[in-house]
A = this chain, B = another copy of it.
Amino acid sequence: MKFSAVVEISGLAGIADPEGQTIERSLPALGFDHVEHVRVGKLIRFEIEAADKPAALEQCDELCRKLLANPVIERYDVAVTP
């Protein structure tokens, strides 16, 4: 069975986010005074073949731990839909 997977990789709380800070510093010059707490992460989409939804989630979790995320500084959230 084929599933569409979406993985969000984001920095752990307390880890610096230079890209987000750079965006935030650019905002006043562009006239955006009401935007704050900008955080930039990665969104990875792929297709995965698995027997059922729990199996797909388990494989995605393993994939995140082994390749996609660095758990020392990043957290990940996985969602799969058939």
Chain A residues at the B interface, C-beta cutoff of 8 Å: 8, 10, 20, 23, 26-27, 30, 32, 34-50, 59, 63, 66-68
Contact = CB atoms under 8 A, between A and B. Distances in A.
Q: What is the predominant secondary structure among interface residues of chain A facing chain B?
A: strand
Copies of this chain held together in the complex: 2
Nearest to A29: B67
A38 B63 CA distance: 12
Contacts of A59: 32, 34-35
User: What 6 A-B pairs come out closest when comparing CB atoms?
Assistant: A34-B49, A43-B43, A38-B46, A41-B43, A37-B47, A39-B45
A68 to B, nearest CB: 7
A80 to B, nearest CB: 12
